[in-house]
Structure 1
Amino acid sequence: MLRILTFLAFLTSLTALQGQTFDNPADYFDRFNQAHGAIVQKNMEYLQYVVHTDNLMEIAQRRLELLELVNQTKAQITGLPDYDGDGSMKAELLSILDVYHELFDVDFEQVELLKSASQQSFTAMEQYMTAHEAAEEKLAGASERFLTAQRAFASRHNLQLMEGAQSTEARQLNELNAYQRALFLPSFRVNKANAAFLDALEQQDAGAMRQAHQTLLEACEAVLPVLATATD
């Protein structure tokens, strides 16, 4: 019974959206901007959570909540009309929502799997961070596509467009995460190499000590230029 009521409520909501009209391009623009902005806000919260927590179950739960929001938003946007024969912004947002769906259904799930094994080795950590960066770039690219569509719609309908704070915040978050990754990965490599050297030292294994010592030197040589650049 509850499922039937939920389904009927969804149909009622969808019917209302299909009958929705807009008196001017500004209202139409705002409707799409709000829909996309809600997802962007959740995106930023999720990305920060992934970086700052090791609770994989909580991370997965937040990702699934985002996926549900994307699905709900797509259903709502699908029911909206074009504005005065102009369906370009609607079509672009629907396409972008498909990208978001793939990201949170596939890409970030893979990131979470790699994160679960990332502490095991430098290679595992590198794979995790590379996958995370690629997913972030794909996410940022989708957001930039919508901004381009917004600018085009605003130009066609004589709207003055001001860049929202969310767009700036999202770019700043991506830049901050990239900066942190650039510093963390070489440092992680040094820590792993140092741990291997200490293990060899404790076991009094001369061959392993020489190999670990060389690996540690190489790791230190790799991290120094990164640290020098970061402090410039």
Structure 2
Amino acid sequence: EQAGVAAADVAAIGAHGQTVRHRPGAFDGTGYTVQILDGALLAELTHIDVVCDLRARDVAAGGQGAPLVPAFHAACLADRETDVAVLNIGGIANLTLLPAGGGPVGGFDCGPGNLLLDLWCRRHLGRPYDADGAWAAGGAIDHAMLQRWLAEPYFARLPPKSTGRDLFDASWLDAGLAGTTRRPQDVMATLAELTVRGAIEALARRFLQRRPGNLPAVTGARGVRLLGALYPA
């Protein structure tokens, strides 16, 4: 209704739900993924067909079930002559790799996105997020702390891989901050740099000497600090 689109003009709603547990490859080697969503109720309320439970089949077949967005990126951003990489910064940051000429599409989670930034902002400012990255922009990056965080084994793992709050949560952050005396604002700046470095290093490992011609970055309006680090003046 807000978009001014009639239900009859919508072919289907794709809804993946809210992930509460994501453990592909765990236990029996297959693992599982769990999302909260009542697709039937959504269909009844909207009178539109709903496509849901998008991750489970891929996990059952030995995949990661995430990220979902590479198929969209391939349809909208692939180029016949140039390699394209797309960085999507949500709670977790993920990369889509689109080889020139329509080669196999790759996609994987490269590390935390806004998840830890928002957690730290709520803890110290009582706000849901750092609007325009203003608080982070006033802090100083602690490079020693950054290197400790980048030593997390997940960053060095080769794709396919996916992650989430099961790894990058408050306990992970607190363990990495044990004994620190840095100002909360400096920690915020360092967390923003962690998102950027995780993405850039993952991109370098995947493309090796092949530099993509384009690196579109998809993030919220609150991501000014992150975009400034990705595209320095």
TM-score (norm: length of structure 2): 0.30
Q: Greater share of helix residues, 1 or 2?
A: 1
Larger Rg: 1
Q: Greater share of strand residues, 1 or 2?
A: 2
TM-score (norm: length of structure 1): 0.31
